[in-house]
């Protein structure tokens, strides 16, 4: 009996370290998860305050731009703000569904009028890559790989990943694209508000949760399945493109005329704006000042060149200047189409141009770089150009 008790006590003592380790790991995971929720909650609270202030100032896209500005300032001041990719993955399809609802049979009748602007946009992108790439490489001391992929106005994450695979500096590329999106989203709405006295009102076309019929709600929710479908098919920007295509189909077929409720769209703005600002968490202004100034200068050049092209193309084709400017502007698909919606500018026109641009860049940019590398043996020394 004593031997049995001794064996049991030995067994218990031998298992005790493992049990303690398991409890410790579980406790750490819980604490980590709790901290994550606290940081996300704090970040969204800061973003909400920004949204309220910008809404009070009657700024276009108040919930996205206000959240973005307040969160960016907090991040640069050292606050541990965080963006949530998981939350964004739920919110971006809402925007895709909203964008798809802007496609009508009348829209299809105008597509042939968009061909000249789409072709000019692709030429514009090529000029931008050449000019900005040369500026970053020759003047701002970027490595050739980082300069090329920093100058390519594709998706932020996509360009950073592809550029890193080819030997570029992921942090440098990601920072340039983050500044590009931040400034583009800030400059254009402020221009319309300050210089043209624009008062936002485009979101009034959206419905409300209280008025949404169950049937229409289920159809809109089903459109969100475009995200996993397009992701499985390896389409770029699947989060927004998949739901947008399915939503466009059901609206063009007349199955529903419903649009996502304004409450969800404003929440999506808040999450996206907070996420943009949170990208600057841990960024030292003093250490990365030169990179940020390079990104700011190149962004201002892109936005100004887009405005010049839009002005010329508007005179030649009769298409609205504002719509062309938004279509050419070097912002993200979700951000620029949200701006077009808030301003009452042709959402289908703007979103189609941006989807084509991003798709073209994701497909063409690596092949163009491969050709450049073949003829000029491009490589990058991370000890010299890395951050």
Distance between CA atoms of residues 181 and 156, nearest Å = 9
Query: Residue 31 falls within a domain, yes or no?
Result: no
- Integer distance in angstroms from the first to the last C-alpha of the chain? 68
Asked if residues 329 and 306 have their Cβ atoms less than 8 Å apart, the reply is yes
DSSP reduced 3-state for 168:
coil
Query: Residue 132 falls within a domain, yes or no?
Result: yes
Query: Residue 8 falls within a domain, yes or no?
Result: no
CATH code where residue 62 lies: 1.20.1530
Query: Residue 377 falls within a domain, yes or no?
Result: yes
Distance between CA atoms of residues 43 and 85, nearest Å = 13
Q: What is the DSSP string of 211-238?
A: G--HHHHHHHHHHTTHHHHHHHTT-TTH
pLDDT mean for each 10 residues of the chain (387 residues): 49 50 55 79 93 83 84 88 84 84 74 87 94 93 89 79 81 85 87 73 64 86 91 81 89 85 85 85 80 92 95 91 92 81 82 85 83 73 58
Q: What is the pLDDT of residue 27?
A: 47
Query: Residue 335 falls within a domain, yes or no?
Result: yes
Query: Residue 182 falls within a domain, yes or no?
Result: yes
Query: Residue 29 falls within a domain, yes or no?
Result: no
Q: What is the pLDDT of residue 257?
A: 82
Query: Residue 225 falls within a domain, yes or no?
Result: yes
Q: What is the pLDDT of residue 23?
A: 56
Domain count, the chain: 1
Q: What is the DSSP string of 46-61?
A: HHHHHHHHHHHTT-TT
Q: What is the pLDDT of residue 380?
A: 65
pTM: predicted TM-score of the whole model, two decimal places: 0.74
Asked if residues 326 and 350 have their Cβ atoms less than 8 Å apart, the reply is yes
Q: What is the pLDDT of residue 326?
A: 93
Domain that holds residue 190: 43-385
């Amino acid at each position: 009996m004593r031997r049995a008790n001794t064996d049991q006590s030995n067994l218990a003592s031998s298992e005790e370290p493992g049990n303690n380790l398991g409890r410790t790991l579980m406790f750490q995971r819980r604490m980590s998860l709790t901290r994550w929720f606290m940081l996300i909650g704090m970040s969204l609270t800061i973003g909400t305050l920004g949204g309220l202030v910008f809404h009070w100032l009657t700024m276009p896209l108040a919930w996205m731009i206000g959240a973005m500005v307040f969160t960016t300032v907090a991040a640069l001041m050292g606050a541990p703000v965080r963006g949530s990719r998981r939350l964004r993955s739920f919110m971006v399809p809402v925007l895709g569904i909203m964008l798809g609802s802007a496609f009508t049979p009348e829209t299809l009748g105008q597509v042939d009028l968009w061909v000249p602007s789409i072709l000019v946009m692709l030429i514009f992108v090529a000029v931008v890559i050449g000019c900005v790439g040369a500026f970053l490489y020759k003047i701002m001391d970027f490595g050739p790989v980082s300069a090329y992929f920093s100058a390519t106005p594709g998706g932020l994450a996509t360009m950073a990943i592809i550029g890193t695979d080819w030997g570029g500096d992921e942090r440098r590329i990601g920072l340039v694209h983050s500044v590009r999106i931040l400034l583009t989203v800030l400059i254009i709405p402020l221009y319309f508000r300050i210089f043209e006295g624009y008062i936002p009102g485009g979101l009034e076309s959206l419905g409300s949760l209280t008025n949404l019929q169950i049937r229409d709600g289920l159809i809109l929710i089903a459109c969100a399945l475009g995200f996993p479908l397009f992701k499985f098919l390896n389409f770029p920007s699947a989060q927004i493109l998949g739901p947008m295509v399915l939503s466009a189909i059901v609206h063009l077929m007349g199955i529903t005329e419903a649009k996502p409720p304004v409450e969800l769209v404003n929440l999506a703005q808040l999450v996206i704006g907070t996420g943009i600002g949170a990208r600057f968490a841990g960024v030292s202004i003093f250490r990365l000042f030169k990179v940020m100034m390079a990104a700011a200068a190149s962004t201002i050049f892109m936005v100004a060149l887009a405005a010049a092209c839009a002005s010329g193309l508007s005179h030649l084709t009769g298409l609205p200047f504002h719509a062309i400017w938004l279509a050419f502007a070097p912002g993200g698909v979700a951000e620029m189409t949200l701006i077009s919606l808030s301003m009452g500018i042709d959402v289908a026109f703007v979103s189609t141009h941006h989807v084509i641009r991003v798709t073209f860049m994701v497909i063409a940019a690596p092949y163009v770089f491969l050709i450049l590398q073949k003829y000029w043996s491009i490589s990058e020394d991370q000890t010299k150009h890395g951050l």
